[in-house]
Amino acid sequence: MSFPLFHRPGAIVFLDDDPDYLEMLAMVLPRQWHIKLYLRPQACINQLQQEPPRWEADAWAQQEIIENWRAGSPLIPQILQYWAAQSQRYDLSQVCVFDYAMPGMDGLQALSELTDWPGGRILLTGQADEHVAVSAFNRGLIDQFIAKQTPDISQHLISVVQRMLDRPQLRHSQTWRAALTQPQHALLQVPSVARQLTALAASHWVEHVVIGQPFGILGMDAEGAVSWLQLEPAAGLAELAELAESEGVDAAAAAGIREGRHLADLELQQALGRSGPPRLLPAFSVGHDGSVLAALFPLELAASERAWSGYRHWLKKIGPRKVQD
């Protein structure tokens, strides 16, 4: 297990020829999900076939952030600007769930049209179609199949889709891996560290990015509020305390940093181009061995830095769920 370097919400697409089933999904699926419901295979295929160029443009926007960082531009202001300017990132579909048994074109035929679409693929089958689904899974055509006769299928479907939404997207991971040193990346792969960070991210943010200069996680909640989880290896506390003293922190506060009781947001303020005394917040241990400490700093952002279209606001803007004809 490793902590994902990049995570954000995306759409989940459902294709089924039964309008009653789609209406049921609209009612029972989690309200924080962005759902697209389709009755006709071709309409669904047409929509998803338009997405790869948008995925590519988004990937290049992220890669450009990394290239600018290599040229000397701090990462955090760039990520804030990306969040503020790219609200359509939420509309990219991350998972599709297709019914197998449909007249005219079955679910596998529909999926075969999506050659360049990068999301996760789930096939819903009837009991008699399970051998088809097993074959499709073994050939790598789908990531998962679910029989419609599964007991409590709604909860099972939610669980499977959520796992796919949580699964790191390979290209994003490769892009942001470049922003970390090898020791930083190795730390995120420690199981106890990854588990604790995963739980913290789920409770605080809907999207996040991990960076190495400074080392930590920039996250945004559903309302658009941003916070910074500073990660500090225990071996670096003395250096941080010395830096804090040079910025005017008194001896008692600096001792608290050395002892791992507090962290100071010096590097965060530098990355944001801000002056003034550093903030000190209580530190807590991440993982079992106490080798890394963390503190969660809320960010007060200028108007130009704010993501006015936070995820919850964006969901309200697109309106209620409805089946596409």
CA 45, CA 119: separation in Å to the nearest integer? 13
- Could you give the 3-state DSSP secondary structure of residue 109? helix
Residue 127 has pLDDT above 90, yes or no: no
Q: Are 109 and 98 in contact (CB under 8 A)?
A: no
21 close to 44: Cβ distance less than 8 angstroms? no
Question: Could you tell me how far CA 136 lies from the centroid of its own chain?
Answer: 28
What is the average per-residue pLDDT within 196-215? 96
Domain annotation for the chain: domains and CATH numbers:
7-168 (3.40.50.2300), 172-305 (no CATH)
Beta bridge partners of 220: 207, 226
309 Cβ contact list (under 8 Å, min separation 6): 87, 224, 317
Taking the C-alpha atoms of residue 28 and residue 154, their distance in angstroms, rounded to an integer, is 7
Give the highest mean pLDDT range of 122-131, 174-183, 244-253, 275-284. 174-183
> How sure is the predictor about 152, in pLDDT bands with cuts at 50, 70 and 90?
confident
Is the pLDDT at 1 greater than 70? The verdict is no
DSSP string, 26-89: HHHS-TTSEEEEESSHHHHHHHHHTHHHHHHHHHHHHHHHHHHHHTT--HHHHHHHHHHH-GGG
**What's residue 303's pLDDT?**
64
At 51, give phi and psi (nearest 5°): -80, -35
| Two structure tokens written together for 236 | 């670096």
CA-to-CA distance for 28 and 148, rounded, in angstroms?
15
Residue-wise pLDDT for 292-306, tens only, equals: 999 999 998 766 656
With a cut of 70, say whether residue 308 has pLDDT above it.
no
Res 214: pLDDT: 95
